[in-house]
Homo-oligomer: A and B are copies of this chain.
Amino acid sequence: MLVIITYDVNTTTSEGRRRLRQVSKKCLDYGQRVQNSVFECIVDSTQFRKLKYELVALIDPKTDSLRFYQLGDNYKRKVDHVGAKESFDVEGPLIL
């Protein structure tokens, strides 16, 4: 299924900037960055639970925010992009 992950991390401190790097690095383990703080991940329900658990452990819930949007398996017609930095289709053919 496709899960959209968006986050706001408070970067006014060096600790916050470290959390931001960790959160985006963790999301990259599971999917692709499509905008500054927006990731698209193709995961099954077990992977999604694990990813969520790992991300929640990284943020400071008092200052940071994570949002998860589940678009299911039939997502291609539900996603639309306009403008710069088109993302690639993670399930599409890999052209070498």
- Residue numbers of A with Cβ under 8 A of B are 4, 6-8, 10, 34-38, 52, 55-56, 59-72, 77-85
Contact = CB atoms under 8 A, between A and B. Distances in A.
B69 A81 contact: no
A69 B62 contact: no
Main SS at interface, chain A: strand
7 nearest A-B residue pairs (beta carbon): A68-B80, A65-B83, A70-B78, A61-B83, A66-B82, A8-B35, A6-B38
A63 B84 CA distance: 5
A69 B59 CA distance: 24
A31 B56 CA distance: 26
A7 B61 CA distance: 23
